[in-house]
Amino acid sequence: MHHKIISFFILIALFSIAAFAQPEKTYSKKHGDSLIHTKFMIDSKKEARDAVENIVKYTGLTQNFQIVENTAIPTAIAYNKKKQRYIAYNPQFMLRVKDRTKSDWGAISVLAHEIGHHLSGHTLITRRRDPKEELEADRFSGFILYKMGAPLEEAKSCASLVELNSSTETHPPKTERLIAITLGWLDANKLEEGIFSVDTATSNPLPFLSTDLEKKKKTPYVYKCMIYGDKNYYYVDEKNQVVSIDDYLQPYVVGYKVKSQDPGFDWIFSVQSLTYGVDSRGKMWSKTYAGDAIMVGKVYNIER
C-alpha cells in the first residue's frame, strides 16, 4: 500500500493544465531525470488513468474520464467529445511541471483544477471559458488538496510559481486565483472541524465589537494579530474566523485560523492570499519557497 501511494504521487507530479500558463518553449532536464522521463513515456497512459481515478475518489464519485496523450496541445485540457469526458495532456509539459514546482502537490492541484471543470459542468457546452469558471475550478482544487492532506502553501504552489499575468477575457488575475484556492482549502478544513454555519463566499458581519474598553465584558475574540507594515489590526474569534474592523467600527470576516500541518507552528493565520504560521510564543512567520522563515508580525492572546 505504501509503495502504491508513493508511485501515485510520483505520477501526479507530471501533470498540469492549460488554465495556469503557457509552457516554456524549451526544457532543460537540469536534474538529469532520464529514468523518470523514460518510465513516464512507456507507462503514461495506464498511470494517468490510475492517477485520475485516485483524485476522483476523494469526491466520492466513480472515475469515468478518458485519459489521452496529445502532443499537439501545449499543456493539458478537459473537454467533451461524443458525450464522453476527456483529459488530454502533453507528456513533455508534464515533465516540465515537476521541475518548475519542485512539489508533487503543485501538479496535483492543476490536475484537480481540470477535473473541477468537468465536475462543475463547464465542459458540457463547447465555448470559451470565463473567469468565473476558472475560479470555481480553482476552489475545487483547493478543496480536494486539503482532503488529500496538502498544506495550504503547497495547494497554492503551482499558481504561485507559474507566471499569471493580468486578467484576460478567460482567466482571472493571479491574486483572485490564489484566493479561490485558499477558500476551497478552508471549506474542506471547516467541514473536517465541524464548522458549517459560515459561508466563505460571503463575509457575514459578526456581533458588534464594543469600544468601551472600561467594561470587563467578555468579547467574542480570542487573539489580536498585528502584521508589520499593515495599519489594520486583526482579531480571531471563537469560531476561528479572522476579523477586521472597518471605518465605521463594524467587524467583518477576512480569513480564518486553520490547523497547522507544520510542527513548527501552532496554527495558521490565513487571509486571502496570505498565509502565516504562528508559533507557541505568538510570533507570526512567513516562509519563503527556499524554506527561510521571516518574522512578519505578532499575535496576542486576549483571554489571558
Percentage of the chain beyond pLDDT 70 is 62
C-alpha cell at 262: 507544520
pLDDT in the model for residue 299: 93
pLDDT in the model for residue 302: 79
| Mean pLDDT of the chain, nearest integer | 72
Position 157 pLDDT exceeds 70: yes
Phi and psi angles of residue 255, each rounded to the nearest 5 degrees, phi first? -175, -160
pLDDT average, residue stretch 129-157: 86
Half-sphere exposure of 21 (CA within 13 A, CB side): 20
pLDDT in the model for residue 289: 67
Phi and psi angles of residue 199, each rounded to the nearest 5 degrees, phi first? -95, 115
pLDDT in the model for residue 30: 39
Contacts 24+ apart (CB under 8 A), 43-50: 44/14, 44/69, 44/91, 44/94, 45/69, 47/7, 47/11, 48/11, 48/15, 48/87, 48/89, 50/8, 50/11
Sign of CA dihedral 105, 109, 110, 114: positive
Position 206 pLDDT exceeds 70: no
Pairing of strands 267-271, 251-259: antiparallel
Locate all alpha helices (DSSP H) within the chain, ordered by sequence.
2-12, 34-57, 91-101, 104-119, 131-148, 152-155, 157-161, 174-193
First-to-final CA distance of the chain: 46
Map out the domains of the chain as residue ranges.
2-192, 221-301
d(CA 77, CA 79) in angstroms, rounded, equals 7
Of 86-90, 151-155, 202-206, the least confident: 202-206
Model confidence pLDDT, tens digit, residues 213-263: 333 344 578 999 988 877 788 999 999 999 988 767 778 899 999 999 888
Position 282 pLDDT exceeds 80: yes
d(CA 175, CA 260) in angstroms, rounded, equals 22
Model confidence pLDDT, tens digit, residues 21-58: 434 333 333 333 343 444 444 455 666 676 677 788 88
pLDDT average, residue stretch 159-174: 62
How far apart, in Å, are the Cα atoms of 167 and each of 99, 157, 202?
26, 19, 23
Residues in the chain: 304
pLDDT in the model for residue 9: 45
Model confidence pLDDT, tens digit, residues 264-279: 899 999 988 788 999 9
> Please, what is the angle between helix 104-119 and helix 131-148, to 10°?
130
